[in-house]
């Protein structure tokens, strides 16, 4: 019941709520019968074929596949392909894709790429510095994208230090 109560508000109409109930009831029966695949137990599994059979001859019959796809896209149920059929099970983790996208946008606005590079707690710059003999021969400097874009290429100078002398490009 708790699972249904969590996801019933995400249904667009009563027909979707009915289909969700049937899917969850079939899944519960499948769990009670330990997922038996033969005989009568195969009729008590939450497969697309069985869910469609529950609504055969009703106005919902034509909406079953699209509604199950909607539930899968929203993370209400997970779809497992089994031969020529699809078994729908309760999702063990619910991922709210819209919420994840909004959090990503918030983080991008709050902390820019340059700020991450400059922040010593992330230590990003050290990951790109050479660790072998080159660290003694080359002086690697981190150039942030905003600084690079602000400086025209003609004014931009890069020092390349060699063991013998220094060249400016």
Domain range annotation of the chain: 2-90, 111-168
Pairing between β-strand 159-161 and β-strand 85-90 as defined by DSSP bridges: unpaired
Instruction: Say yes or no to pLDDT of 25 above 70.
Output: yes
Look at residue 39 and tell me whether its pLDDT is greater than 70: no
Task: List the structure tokens of 164.
Answer: 């013998």
The matching CATH number, chosen from 3.40.1360, 1.10.10, 2.20.25, 1.10.150, for 2-90 is 1.10.10
Sorting pLDDT into bands at 50, 70 and 90, what band is 56? very high
Task: Supply the pLDDT for residue 154.
Answer: 53
Which pLDDT belongs to residue 92?
66
Q: How confident is the model at residue 164 (pLDDT cuts 50, 70, 90)?
A: low
**Model confidence, pTM:** 0.50
Concatenating the DSSP letter of every residue in 105-144 gives HHHHHHS-HHHHHH-TTT-HHHHHS--STHHHH-------
Taking a C-beta distance cutoff of 8 angstroms, is the pair 127, 101 a contact? Answer: no
The pLDDT of residue 157 is above 80: no
When pLDDT is averaged across residues 88-93 and rounded to a whole number, the result is 73
The C-alpha atoms of residue 156 and residue 134 are separated, in whole angstroms, by 23
The pLDDT of residue 38? 58
């Amino acid at each position: 019941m708790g699972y249904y109560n969590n996801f019933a508000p995400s249904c667009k109409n009563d027909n979707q709520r009915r289909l969700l109930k049937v899917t969850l009831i079939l899944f519960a029966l499948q769990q009670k019968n330990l997922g038996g695949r033969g005989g009568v137990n195969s009729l008590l599994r939450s497969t697309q074929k069985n869910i469609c059979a529950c609504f055969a001859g009703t106005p919902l019959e034509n909406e079953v596949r699209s509604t199950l796809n909607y539930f899968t896209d929203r993370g209400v149920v997970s779809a497992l392909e089994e031969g020529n059929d699809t078994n729908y099970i309760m999702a063990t983790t619910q991922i709210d894709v819209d919420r994840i996208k909004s959090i990503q946008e918030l983080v991008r606005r709050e902390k820019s790429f340059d700020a991450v590079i400059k922040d010593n707690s992330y230590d990003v710059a050290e990951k790109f510095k050479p660790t072998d003999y080159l660290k003694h021969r080359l002086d690697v400097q981190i150039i942030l994208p905003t600084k690079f874009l602000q400086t025209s290429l003609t004014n931009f100078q890069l020092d390349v230090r060699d063991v013998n002398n220094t060249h400016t490009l």
